[in-house]
Amino acid sequence: MSTRRDKAEIRKQNKMPSLHHRKPKSIGGARHDPANQSWLPENKHRAWHTLFSNHSAQSIAYMINDKYLDPEYVFICVRKEAVCTDSS
Ligand SMILES: [Zn+2]
């Protein structure tokens, strides 16, 4: 039986993309909704989860501001519905 890490290594060696859930399933993200899925290179997918685990968008924005971003800037995270006024 192969572990998650084994599968990740196979994907990496074969340069296969891996499926990322933009809103993690562990916090309620939809497993099969294409809008919640992105195919990422394995190394970038792993890097994302190394940095941000399965935290919420708001928590990630907090971490970016707290530890990574130029202190002269602020990274703001808002729900799309708060800024999108598409009336179609
Ligand atoms: Zn992921």
Q: What angle do CA 2, 20, 69 make, to 5 degrees?
A: 120
Q: How confident is the model at residue 9 (pLDDT cuts 50, 70, 90)?
A: confident
Residue with tokens 């562990």: 26
pLDDT, residue 86, reads: 67
* Amino acid occupying residue 22: R
Residue 56 Cα, ligand 1 centroid: separation in angstroms?
A: 12
Residue 88 Cα, ligand 1 centroid: separation in angstroms?
A: 31
Residue with tokens 């800037």: 73
Q: What sign does the dihedral 67-70-79-49 (CA atoms) show? A: negative
Residue 29 Cα, ligand 1 centroid: separation in angstroms?
A: 11
Express each pLDDT in 20-51 by its tens digit. Answer: 999 999 999 999 999 999 999 999 999 999 99
pLDDT, residue 8, reads: 76
Residues with a beta carbon under 5 angstroms from ion ligand 1: 20
Residue 48 Cα, ligand 1 centroid: separation in angstroms?
A: 7
pLDDT, residue 62, reads: 98
